[in-house]
Homo-oligomer: A and B are copies of this chain.
Amino acid sequence: MIVAGGGPAGMSAAARAHRVDPSLEILAFEAGAYTSYAAAGLPYVVSGAVDTVDDLVVRTPAQHRARGIDVHERCRVTGIDLDARTVSVVDQARGTTDTYGFDHLVLATGASAIRPALPGMDAAGVFTIDSIPDAAAIDRAVGEARTHRAVVVGAGYTGLEMVEVLTERGLEVTLVEQGDRPMVRLDADLGARITDAIHARGVTTRFATAVTGFAADGDGRLRAVETTTGPIPAELVVLCVGVRPNVGFAAEAGITIGTTGAIATDARRRTGVSGVWAVGDCSESLHRVSQRPVWVGLGTHANKHGRVAGTNIAGGSARFEGVLGSAITLFGDTEIACTGLNASDAAVAGFAVATTVVEGATLPDYFPGSAAMTVKLVTDRSNGRLLGAQIVGGPGSGKRIDALAVAVWNEMTVGDYAQLDLSYSPPFAPVWETSLIAARLAGG
């Protein structure tokens, strides 16, 4: 068994297979120096919440080896020969290329931040945040005396997190976004609340704006970000314009790439080629509500993918039961979370969509610390089925999305949801949780 990629997905597959069948020979190759690290923690290295990048590493290559997984760091899989059942591996330290035979191959090559080909991309101070070295480099750049102004390009989860951490570090931040609002994963009505939170944090926004290039000073250091709405002076820019699954050599070998651009698999994480599996950010997942393949790059899925593939390779039987697109992020004191389909995606998926928005609170009005929260429910008008939910609110609001995620997972109707016995006492919740009120108003 060969694992191409030493991130959480690949190493979970390796560890699980080893656990189920310790007699398996497992070889894992990681192009970088780090294995099994929490990519979601990278922004928090920059904020200082996480002390060092090493804290993000759940298990080092040496620790994996001590547990019986033969992992080789700085070794990049560069090609597959499906007829010979071999992979080519470049050992970047030694400069050699070797060929290894496999019975099972796990593709766990991850995804990479998109680096648009723009004039001036090579200026010092232009970053993506994609890896441990990236986070460390941004952290250093923020600490430089010349750095006062930052631009974040892209207002998705990672972009917002970068805005937040750069603001925390005291920089003057401008957020640039091609679309008309932040967080397009949320519907526009809830997106407007996030825009308010961004402005309340003193951040300048430029929506409907595209970056056209980067101007540097004589030393080759970033001076300004050029955009379709004029230049923005800055010493630092972080491009958070999306990530792309790393499927190069898999596609070249003829392994099926799905409509999302990621490797297509079945629920067992099998690709179209016998003995070749795909897990984590290089691969698709089934969306349980739309029943369509989606690409979601999150450690939660990567870990589960790996576990499923590892079980199956070792002779067990496991299925990955799909995703809901659950997500959560923190911006200042504002918690932003969603699960299932938003209204537009639900319409695209063919549902007759109804939506309900309720302004509520995390605690009873009379209790100190109660924070405002908005819950939006997306339902199937024909039968009341809960298709998705979104929350934007103050401290304590975001994680309440999980009850809604379990409900969407179980295809509950809003009628059923409104009856739920959710936990209640004044330091934790009002007697009617906002989501229950929303379900009631949605017809429950």
- Chain A residues within 8 Å of B, Cβ to Cβ: 8, 38, 40-41, 44, 49-50, 55-56, 157, 161, 288, 298-301, 303-304, 320-330, 335, 337, 339, 364, 366-368, 396, 398-403, 405-407, 409-410, 412, 416, 419-429, 431-432
Contact = CB atoms under 8 A, between A and B. Distances in A.
Nearest to A430: B38
Nearest to A403: B402
Given A366-B50, A410-B410, A330 B428 contact: yes
How many copies are assembled? 2
A428 B399 contact: yes
With a 10 A CB-CB cut-off, give which of A288, A323, A335, A431 has the most chain B CB atoms. A431
A422 B330 contact: no
A49 B420 contact: no
A420 B425 contact: no
A339 B424 contact: no
A8 B303 CA distance: 46
A357 B405 CA distance: 23
Nearest to A399: B428
A420 B409 contact: yes
Contacts of A416: 321, 409
A421 B339 contact: yes
B423 A339 contact: yes
Contacts of A330: 425, 427-428
A220 to B, nearest CB: 34
A426 B396 contact: no
Contacts of A50: 366-368, 426
Contacts of A423: 326-328, 337, 339, 398-399, 401-402, 405
A322 B416 CA distance: 11
Contacts of A368: 49-50
Nearest to A406: B406
A326 B41 contact: no
Contacts of A419: 304, 320-321
A56 B366 contact: yes
A423 B400 CA distance: 9
Contacts of A421: 288, 300-301, 322-326, 339, 405, 409
Contacts of A38: 364, 366, 426, 431
A364 B323 CA distance: 21
A364 B45 CA distance: 13
Nearest to A329: B425
Nearest to A304: B419
6 contacts: A38-B426, A49-B367, A320-B419, A337-B423, A402-B423, A410-B412
